[in-house]
Chains A and B, each alone.
Chain A
Amino acid sequence: MSTVIDVSELGKQYRVYRKHEGLRSAITHLFRREYTTVDAVKSISFKIDEGEIVGFLGPNGAGKTTTLKLLSGLIYPTSGQATVLGHVPWKRENAYRRRFSLVMGQKNQLWWDLPAQESFRLHQAIYKIPADEFERRVDELTDLLEVRKLIGQPVRELSLGERMRMELIASLLHNPRVLFLDEPTIGLDVVSQKRVQDFLKYYQQQQKITVVLTSHYMKDVESLCKRVIIIDEGIIHHDGSLTNLIDRFSRFKVIALQFREGIVPDDLSRYGEQLASDFGTAKLKVEREKVSEILASILERYKVDDITVHDRPLEDVFAELFSAQRSQKVAG
């Protein structure tokens, strides 16, 4: 499979203007400004093949969006190189711009007061999409996302979820080979999130496009991405499959227990942290390597109706991972 995105030692520094609190400093800063340099991305490298869906994960300000902005040519890097589909993104060539799309969850490209179909027509003209192909794609995409009836309604009257789906259609009309999604499900309810996820999954498999996605919702990542890149403070901490990631970073598992008498014993905490207990059920957070040992011991001691072992939610894994890194840094 061919490499579509090739990033090597890419770095981006921002110069930010620092202002101290208060009026006095506001006045002195009129004449002399203090700047500090912030490394948004520090020398990252990775390759993405055609047809992959890769999730970019990291806390706020980790450098995820900066990376997407670099790859879509919005900003220039301070160091390093990158090519997407053989183009250097920040040259901003039309040949490249016709072949990718960037969707930002918080920004909209649709005309607020006009029906979405007018924005689609405008996209058709901007991207020079042939009329028959345009009609076919609008039909197909509006069916898939179940918004066909809404394309004649002014965008401002649509719900957030419907609007996001229209945004996705607008960004896919020109059949981009690479799709960058920055928080595509931000602010959406569970049903809309699911619908967008299902759509992206289906569409990606059909069209074999390459997708890079950032999200705070682990559900997005779990349902869509086989490969994840963890980035924090501008550095890649992990690049590999999601399962590997959990194996590598999740030191704990969760055991859920259902006790026969409906009474939770009060000495469970010796096995691990008790996460919840209610009406005869309890959840325990235990170290991975001790799971079998603890299970054996529990089954021996108590009467248990049901027992399940699962990984902790990804959110918790990441929260732990990032806070561990931060505290290490502070300590070091």
Chain B
Amino acid sequence: MARPPAQSETAVRRSWFNEGCDYCVSSAHTSWVIFKTCVEERLVYRGDFFFSTFIRFLPIITQIFLWHKVYAIGTSDQIGSLNGYSYEDMVAYYLLAMVARAFSSMPGLASGIGNDIRDGSIKKYVIQPIDLLGYLFWHRVAHKLVYYLIATIPFAVVFYVCRSFFPHPPTAEVWLAFGLSLVLGFLVGFLLEALIGLIGFWFLEVSSLLFIYMMFNYFLSGHMIPLDWLPNSLFAWIEYLPFKYLAYFPAAIFLGKIPPENLWMEIGVECAWVGVLLIANRVVLQRGLRRYGAFGG
């Protein structure tokens, strides 16, 4: 009598396992189709897309000239360094921070979610068996990849021209950590902006909130100036915020500013941030959809 139940138990377990596999495969397939469709959509706007990619390069060039002038004035009678950064260091930092921003910036994500909530397009995520965050994620991955396809060329040119500003070729380990920090930076940027967009379930208009976020982001991520230029007391606090992962952190890894013994611990902390933000997004989305059910529609 003991054998048949044991067999059926295995069978149940196997079918459960198979179902699990089927689910993963079909979810991956869904994500893939979403991704493909988004790439196609992105390629429709060819003109806008080429133009915007190149236009985004202008500020990088002007910023390099600006730093050139700043250094020419600020260091004329000194040793050619500001807060431990020479002009070359500064340009190297700035370019690397721009690479990090190419991963972590999310133009239109929060405002897009806000608009969807306001004009009711959010309905389709309630009615159809589809996950809003998953959908937006693949949508964003598609847009980013298409962007890199074009942006790689001007980035490569600028890096080639400024190659002498990068002092030492980093080790394989640093390269790996740098690559990982870019990908994690993408996730942090995505989750932070999505969270702001989801606040639209409570406040119909998120644009002013987004503006404040952008302002803090510009300053606290290291986009404007390297974070270690800030007074130590301030830097110590900013270290605990997730903003640094959006620009400063990947550049600091590449330039060897993170002590090697701390490197993987820091990456671990960033992973923890991704986890925390993911949970926050899930909770806020769930609450938001519930609120939408009660008030909106």
**Which residue numbers of A lie inside 8 Å of B, CB to CB?**
14-15, 66, 69, 72-76, 90, 92, 94, 97-98, 101-102, 104, 107, 109, 111, 113-114, 118-119, 121-122, 124-128, 154
Partner of B128, one of A75, A97, A114, A124: A97
Does B153 touch A at the CB level, under 8 Å?
no
> How far does the alpha carbon of A199 sit from the alpha carbon of B30 in the complex, in Å?
30
Stretch at the interface among B232-240, B245-253, B289-297: B289-297
The 10 closest A-B pairs by CB, nearest first: A125-B33, A75-B297, A94-B129, A76-B293, A97-B129, A125-B30, A74-B297, A113-B44, A69-B297, A126-B130
Closest chain A CB from B122 CB (angstroms): 9
CB pair A92–B37 under 8 Å, yes or no, is no
> How far does the alpha carbon of A303 sit from the alpha carbon of B230 in the complex, in Å?
103
Does B126 touch A at the CB level, under 8 Å?
yes
Which residues does chain A contribute within 8 Å of B128, judged by CB atoms? 97, 126-127
> How far does the alpha carbon of A121 sit from the alpha carbon of B126 in the complex, in Å?
19
Which residues does chain A contribute within 8 Å of B121, judged by CB atoms? 107
Closest chain B CB from A102 CB (angstroms): 5
Partner of B41, one of A69, A72, A114, A128: A114
CB pair B30–A128 under 8 Å, yes or no, is yes
Which residues does chain B contribute within 8 Å of A101, judged by CB atoms? 127
Our count of residue pairs bridging A and B at CB distance below 8 angstroms stands at 71
> How far does the alpha carbon of A17 sit from the alpha carbon of B123 in the complex, in Å?
22
**Chain A residue at minimum C-beta to C-beta distance from B122:** A74
**Which residue numbers of B lie inside 8 Å of A, CB to CB?**
26, 29-30, 32-34, 37, 40-41, 44-45, 120-121, 123-124, 126-130, 289-290, 292-297
Check A109/B37 contact, CB under 8 A, given A76-B293, A114-B44, A126-B129. no
Which residues does chain A contribute within 8 Å of B40, judged by CB atoms? 114, 118
Closest chain B CB from A177 CB (angstroms): 15
14 further A-B pairs in the complex, CB-CB below 8 A; given A107-B121, A107-B123, A125-B33:
A66-B297, A74-B123, A75-B292, A75-B296, A107-B120, A109-B124, A111-B37, A113-B41, A113-B44, A118-B37, A122-B37, A125-B29, A126-B129, A127-B129
Partner of A72, one of B30, B127, B129: B127
Which residues does chain B contribute within 8 Å of A90, judged by CB atoms? 293
Check A121/B33 contact, CB under 8 A, given A72-B127, A94-B129. yes
CB pair A74–B126 under 8 Å, yes or no, is yes
Closest chain B CB from A47 CB (angstroms): 23
CB pair A14–B30 under 8 Å, yes or no, is no
Which residues does chain B contribute within 8 Å of A122, judged by CB atoms? 33-34, 37
CB pair B127–A121 under 8 Å, yes or no, is no
Which residues does chain B contribute within 8 Å of A73, judged by CB atoms? 126-127, 293
**Chain A residue at minimum C-beta to C-beta distance from B119:** A107
Among B40, B123, B127, the one with the most A-chain Cβ atoms within 10 Å of its Cβ is B127
Partner of B294, one of A76, A92, A119, A124: A76
Which residues does chain A contribute within 8 Å of B26, judged by CB atoms? 128
Which residues does chain B contribute within 8 Å of A14, judged by CB atoms? 295
A and B contact pairs by CB, cutoff 8 A, 7 listed: A74-B127, A94-B129, A102-B123, A113-B44, A114-B44, A119-B37, A126-B128
Partner of A125, one of B34, B127, B290: B34
Closest chain B CB from A119 CB (angstroms): 8
Which residues does chain A contribute within 8 Å of B44, judged by CB atoms? 113-114, 154
Closest chain A CB from B18 CB (angstroms): 15
**Chain A residue at minimum C-beta to C-beta distance from B124:** A109
**Chain B residue at minimum C-beta to C-beta distance from A127:** B129
CB pair B293–A74 under 8 Å, yes or no, is yes
> How far does the alpha carbon of A32 sit from the alpha carbon of B130 in the complex, in Å?
38
> How far does the alpha carbon of A173 sit from the alpha carbon of B30 in the complex, in Å?
16
Closest chain A CB from B52 CB (angstroms): 16
CB pair A75–B129 under 8 Å, yes or no, is no
> How far does the alpha carbon of A185 sit from the alpha carbon of B297 in the complex, in Å?
21
